[in-house]
Amino acid sequence: MRLRRERLRRVVTGVALSALLGSGLVVAAAAPSTAAPHSTDTWTVDDPGRSTLTAQLDLDSAGELHLAVDRGGAPVLLPGRLGIRTDQHDLTTGLELIRRQDRTVHESYRMTTGKQLRRSATMREATFTFRGADGAQLGVAVRVSDDGVAYRYLLDDKGTVTVTQEASTFDLPTDAEAWVQPYATSYETERTETTAGAANTAQPRTCTGDTCSFGYPTLFQVGGTYVLLTEADVDGRYSGSHLDHVDGSGAYSVALADDAPVTSQGPLATPWRTAIVGDLDTLVGSTLVDDLAPPSKVEDTSWIRPGVDDWSWLSDGSSPGDYDRQRDFVDYAAEHGLQYTLVDAGWQASWVPELVRYARARGVDVILWFDWNDLKTQQQRDDWLPKVKAWGVAGVKVDYMYSDSQSTFQWYDAILRDTARLRLMVDFHGATIPRGLQRTWPQVMSVEAVRGEENGQNPTRDIFLAFTRNIVGSMDYTPTWFSRPNRQDSLAHELALPVVYESGWTSLGDNPEGFAAQPVAERYLEQLPTTWDETHLVSGGPGQQPAGDRQAVIARRNGDRWFVGGILAGPGDTMTAPLGFLGKGTWLLETVGDSDGQLQRTVRTVTAKETLDVPAAANGGFVALACPATKGRTDCDHPVITAPATSLALDPSATTAGPGAKVGIDATFELPQGTALRQVRLTVDRDRLPAGWTASGRDVTAGSLPAGRALDGRWTVTVGKDQPGGEVDVPVVATYANPAGGKAPPIHVEEIARVSIPLHGTVYASDQPFLTETNGYGPVERDQSNGEAGGQDGHPLTIGATVYPKGLGMNAPAQVQIDVQGRCTRFEAHVGVDDETSGQGSVTFTVLGDGRQLAATGVLHGGQDATDLTADVTGVHTLTLAAGDGGDGKNYDHADWGLAQLTCAN
Nearest to 238 by CA among 274, 271, 273, 275: 271
Peptide bond into 739 cis (omega under 30): no
CA–chain centroid gap for 504, Å, is 9
Contact 511, 316 (CB under 8 A): yes
CA-CA distances (angstroms) from residue 654 to 403, 611, 754? 48, 65, 5
% helix, strand, coil for the chain, step of 5: 15, 40, 40
Which 3 state secondary structure label does DSSP give 253?
Answer: strand
Residue 674 contacts by C-beta under 8 Å, 6 or more apart in sequence? Answer: 644, 645, 707
In this structure, what are the phi and psi dihedrals at residue 499, rounded to the nearest 5 degrees?
-95, -45
Sign of the CA dihedral with 116 first, then 117, 121, and 127 last? positive
Q: Assess whether 399 carries a catalytic annotation.
A: yes
Q: What is the DSSP string of 458-516?
A: -HHHHHHHHTTGGGGS--------TT-TT-SS-HHHHHHHHHHS--SEEEE-S-HHHHH
Contact 368, 313 (CB under 8 A): no
DSSP string, 705-737: E-TT-EEEEEEEEE--TTPPSEEEEEEEEEEE-
Helix (H, G, I), strand (E, B) or coil at 741: coil
Alpha carbons 199 and 246: distance in angstroms, whole number: 9
CA 512 to chain CA centroid, Å, is 24
The one-character DSSP state at 455 is G
Counted residue by residue, the chain has a size of 906
Beginning with the edge strand found earlier in the chain, give each strand of the sheet holding 505-508 in spatial order: 444-447, 425-428, 395-399, 365-371, 340-343, 307-311, 505-508
Residue 224 near residue 279 (C-beta atoms within 8 A):
yes
Using alpha carbons, select from 873, 177, 265 the residue that is nearest to residue 543: 177
For residue 367, the cross-strand partners are: 342, 395
> In this structure, what DSSP letter does residue 319 have?
G
For residue 544, give Cα distances in angstroms to 141, 463, 469, 548.
38, 10, 19, 6
Residue 867, beta-bridge partner list: 831
> Comparing C-alpha atoms, which of 737, 885, 875, 900 is closest to residue 809?
900
Catalytic choice (399, 476, 494, 510)? 399
E-state strands within 223-302 = 225-232, 241-246, 251-256, 262-265, 268-269, 272-278
Active site annotation includes 354: no
Task: Name the active-site residue from 102, 157, 244, 454.
Answer: 454
Catalytic positions are 399, 454
